[in-house]
Amino acid sequence: MNADRQNARRNVGLVLLACAVFSAAAGLIRDWDARQAEADPSVQDARFGPLRQKLFELRDAGQLRRENGAIKLGYLTDIPTDSDQMAKLYKTNYYMAIYALAPFLVDDSTGHELVVGNFSRDQIDPGLLREKKLEIECRFGRGVFLLRRADAASREAGR
């Protein structure tokens, strides 16, 4: 009887261990698929397509300022760069944004009149916007935003 109880415990333990291993493997596969999608140009074209179209409309209407002959945009994301893996993810997302928004130039800074927001969610921390002195110009979904440098004078008039 004691041996049956030990066998049952061992079997339950093995089943739980197998479930944990399969769950971890499924998580790794999901993460791999997500990383592959981030590096897939067609996925990024689809994400940034509406923003790119808006930029062409603004350009054609003469509403975009050129810097040294080119239209330059800033870049802001919520991806931290506190580890090598996250820094690689940051660079991948940044380079994919550059690719998807060509011929517009994307600079890895927020020091431009217009800034591309590339976020993991469809929300931006309002504190981050205040810190960077940016306002949301347009939301395109899937974490893509067009941000505009906040005009201190118009903010004061709105209070």
Does 28 lie in the same domain as 91? no
Tokens, residue 31: 């993460």
Does 64 lie in the same domain as 115? yes
Does 32 lie in the same domain as 87? no
pLDDT in tens, 105-155: 999 999 999 999 999 888 899 999 999 999 999 999 999 999 999 873 344
Does 67 lie in the same domain as 136? yes
pLDDT in tens, 12-23: 555 554 545 455
CB–CB of 94/77 below 8 Å? yes
Does 70 lie in the same domain as 115? yes
Does 34 lie in the same domain as 2? yes
Cα separation, 14 vs 4, in Å, equals 15
Number of domains in the chain: 2
- Say how many C-beta atoms besides its own lie within 10 A of residue 122's C-beta: 12
Does 49 lie in the same domain as 124? yes
Cα separation, 64 vs 83, in Å, equals 36
Cα separation, 106 vs 70, in Å, equals 10
Does 131 lie in the same domain as 76? yes
State percent of the chain over pLDDT 70.
71
Distances in Å between the alpha carbon of 45 and those of 51, 52, 59?
Answer: 10, 9, 19
Range of the domain at 16: 1-38
Does 1 lie in the same domain as 24? yes
